[in-house]
Amino acid sequence: MISSVYQKIRTLLEMIRFSHTVFAFPFALMAVVLASRMTGELPSVGQMVWICLALVGARTGAMACNRLIDARIDAANPRTADRHLPAGRVTGREAALLAAVGFALLLLAAWRLNPLCLTLAPVAIGLLLFYSYSKRFTSLSHMVLGLCLAAAPAGAWIALRGSFGWPSLILGLAVLCWVAGFDIFYALQDEEFDRSQGLHSIPVQLGTRRAILLAKLLHGLMIMLLSLLALIAPLGEVYLGGVLLVAGLLFYEHRLVRPDDLSRLNKAFFTVNGYVSVSMFVFTLIDAALTWS
């Protein structure tokens, strides 16, 4: 009995790629560091717990809904036909229940944080659901996904300060550009399938070469925004060292993906981007600790 429950939980976590929480989570923690440094007060244990639970709940609900909404498309795509729902390893009811639990956790955490978080939580859920349908009618779906992940640092900032702030907005825009750029990369492998199914994406709209160019521009804009954040927050040399490292990582990522060679796309998408988010958080944390007053 215990073994079967464990296996089912493991299967559900695999379905939503729980390990990929590493993409947005460090940027949310980065916002926590910035908000704490600017107020001069460390967050309470309770605040940190509820912020983390809100992030986990939002991503769990979003991914479960996305898999459920895209089940038929995934079944028709050779690349995704073996995903858990099309392959029958997870039922539609199980996915729907997981989504409901995730979003309920988000709402509970938002309620425990502050009134503005609770007010904005349904908006966040609506945006997450909107993303799952967006590729059916707009090639800007990559930007919608970027906006969804940009909500993580913005939400963490609001959780601590109870209001919006320029640092969180600039960081959110940087995350939006970063996510949209690497999601364009990810969509390259489905360009022909999406075109045949009438689905929309930047690669379908612009073609492979121009899509890669746009991804480069978006990642360049991300570096500019992270540099601007150093002036707004303000942050010091250690942080700027982190920005330089991230610029190098993104340069390496773009070296891995070529119009005539997508064989290293997964390495560029999963490995390098994980290093990007974690590196930015670590360097921001060290910078803040060294200059804390």
| Interval 147-153 mean pLDDT | 94
Task: Identify the pLDDT of residue 23.
Answer: 75
* CATH H-level, domain 143-293: superfamily: UbiA prenyltransferase (1.20.120.1780)
Task: Identify the pLDDT of residue 158.
Answer: 95
CA-nearest of 199, 63, 83, 73 to 140 is 199
Q: Please write the tens of the pLDDT for every residue from 204-242.
A: 999 999 999 999 999 999 999 999 999 998 899 999 999
Q: Which residues in 124-148 are b (16+ Cβ under 10 Å) and which e? A: bbebbbebbebbeeebbbbbbbbbb
Whether 282 contacts 245, CB under 8 Å: no
Please, which residues have CB within 8 angstroms of residue 22's CB and are 6 or more apart in sequence?
274, 277, 278
Provide the residue ranges of all domains of the chain, joining segments of one domain with +.
Answer: 44-134, 143-293
The pTM (predicted TM-score) of the whole model is 0.93
Task: Identify the pLDDT of residue 99.
Answer: 94
DSSP, collapsed to helix, strand or coil, labels residue 261 as strand
Confidence of residue 84 (pLDDT cuts 50, 70, 90): confident
Confidence of residue 1 (pLDDT cuts 50, 70, 90): low
> What is 44-134's CATH number, 3.30.70.2190, 1.10.357.140, 3.40.50.1820, 3.40.50.300?
1.10.357.140
Best mean pLDDT range from 80-84, 219-223, 270-274, 285-289? 219-223
DSSP, collapsed to helix, strand or coil, labels residue 258 as strand
Whether 124 contacts 152, CB under 8 Å: no
Share of the chain above pLDDT 70, in %: 93
Helices (H), 16-91: 25-39, 45-69, 71-76, 84-87
